[in-house]
């Protein structure tokens, strides 16, 4: 069970870091996608959804190929950091980000598309820079979508398993995340410990996600309830 604690800590770290990176990547991507008008747009949207289509272990297998020192990604990483990408925490983060990207992009995209452009025009005329517009107007106005995206990305990274199993190599303290230990417990027929861990994970996630979704409440109630 002490191994579980390491796994919990590692999982949290992975989920938090991946979710943050996801939001940082997904927000501008979704924004650009919402503004971009081109016949090829549906194809780009479909490409973004593709990581979902492959079974996670298979995706992980291909990531493993990409991470190997023979590939440009793996060798580039190695010459940059001296370390190996596969079986490292950094590799897990990359895998999780790729795997969960669709969940982060799609809700944000839908939010941006529905944002009334007049608010942005007003913000622009008020002199807000692009960044200020994003920070002061766009993000607060699409908050429910951000929370949806964040919640999905976070939960998905917590439960993320196939990819991690493949590229992580199940190394305690480095790549053995909770989902893998849980899987291990089930696989090694330690059902008691599996139940414990599963219930713990569920309760913990329940609390964390409840807190996340609570953010949505304040102010939101009044938002659409007025006729002006």
Partner 1 sequence: MEFKVRLNTQGRPPLEATAAFSAQSVLLGLTGPSGAGKTTLLRALAGLEKCAQVNVSSYRRSSPRIMMVFSEPCLFPHLSVEENLILARQYSADSGASLTTYTALCHCEHLLGRAAVSLSSGEAQRVALARALASQPDILLIDEGMGAIDSATRRAIISGLKQYATKTQLQVVLVSHDISDLALYADELALLEAGSLVCAGQVARVLGHYATETSLVPCLSLLEGKATDPDPRYPYHRFLCEGQVLYAHSRASFEEHVRLVVDARQVSLDKMDVNQSTLVNAFACQIVSMDTLSDAELRVTLRQGDTTLYAIISHLSRDRLGLTAGDAVTARFKLC
Partner 2 sequence: DTLKVAVAANFAKPLEQFATAYNEKTGNRVIVSKASSGTLYAQINHGADIDVFLSADSSRPQQLLEDGRVNASDVVTYAIGRLGYIQRSNASPDVETLKTFALAPTTRLAIANPRLAPYGEAARQALTSLVLWQHVSGALVYGNNVLQVYQFYQSGNVDHALLAWSLIKGEPGAVQLSDELHQPIVQQLAITATGADKAAANAFVDYLLSDEVQTQLPQWGYQRTGTRE
Q: What are the b/e assignments for 35-60, b being 16+ CB within 10 Å?
A: eeeeeeeeeeeeebeebeeeebeebb
Helix (H) or strand (E) holding 60: helix 56-67
Residue 203's nearest CA partner among 52, 44, 8, 63 is 8
Site for a copy of itself in 40-79 (CB under 8 A): 41-43, 45-47, 49-50, 52-59, 61-62
Question: What's the distance, CA 84 to chain centroid?
Answer: 23
Integer Cα distance of 79 and 165 in angstroms: 25
Note whether 115 and 142 are within 8 A (CB). yes
2 binds, among partner 2, partner 1, a copy of itself, none (CB under 5 to 8 A by kind): none
Tokens of 67: 């991470």
73 binds, among partner 2, a copy of itself, partner 1, none (CB under 5 to 8 A by kind): none
**Which residue, 93 or 177, is less far from a copy of itself as judged by CB?**
177
Span of 70-78, 83-91, 109-117, 125-133 interacting with a copy of itself by CB under 8 A: 109-117
Smallest distance from a copy of itself to CB 207, Å: 8
Span of 132-140, 145-153, 160-168, 195-203 interacting with partner 1 by CB under 8 A: 132-140
Residue 110 backbone zone (phi > 0: left; psi -120 to 50: alpha; other: beta): alpha
84 binds, among partner 1, a copy of itself, partner 2, none (CB under 5 to 8 A by kind): partner 2
158, 168, 175, 176: which one contacts a copy of itself (CB under 8 A)?
A: 158
- DSSP secondary structure code for residue 85 in this structure: S
Q: Which residues bind partner 2 (CB under 8 A)?
A: 57, 61, 64-65, 67-70, 74, 84, 86-87, 165-166, 169-172, 176, 183-184, 186-189
Q: Which residues of the shown chain bind partner 1 in the complex (CB under 8 A)? A: 116, 118-119, 121-123, 125-128, 132, 136-137, 140-141, 143, 219, 222-223, 225-228
């Amino acid at each position: 069970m002490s191994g579980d604690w390491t796994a919990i800590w590692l999982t949290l770290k992975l989920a938090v870091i991946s979710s943050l990176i996801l939001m940082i990547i997904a927000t501008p991507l979704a924004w650009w996608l919402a503004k971009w008008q081109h016949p090829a747009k549906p194809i780009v949207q479909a490409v973004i959804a593709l990581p979902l289509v492959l079974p996670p272990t298979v995706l992980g297998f291909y990531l493993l190929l990409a991470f190997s020192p023979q590939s440009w990604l793996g060798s580039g990483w190695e010459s940059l950091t001296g370390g190996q990408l596969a079986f490292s925490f950094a590799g897990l983060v990359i895998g999780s980000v790729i795997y969960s990207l669709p969940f982060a992009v799609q809700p944000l995209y839908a939010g941006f598309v529905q944002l009334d452009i007049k608010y942005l025009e007003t913000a622009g005329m008020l002199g807000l820079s692009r960044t200020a517009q994003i920070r002061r107007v766009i993000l607060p106005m699409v908050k429910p979508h951000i929370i949806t995206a964040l919640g999905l990305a976070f939960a998905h990274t917590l439960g993320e398993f196939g990819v991690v199993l493949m590229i992580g190599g199940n190394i305690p303290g480095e790549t053995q995340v909770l989902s893998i230990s849980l899987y291990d417990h089930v696989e090694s027929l330690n059902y008691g410990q599996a139940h414990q861990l599963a219930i713990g994970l569920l309760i913990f996630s329940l609390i964390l996600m409840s807190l996340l979704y609570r953010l949505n409440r304040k102010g939101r109630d009044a938002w659409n309830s007025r006729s002006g």
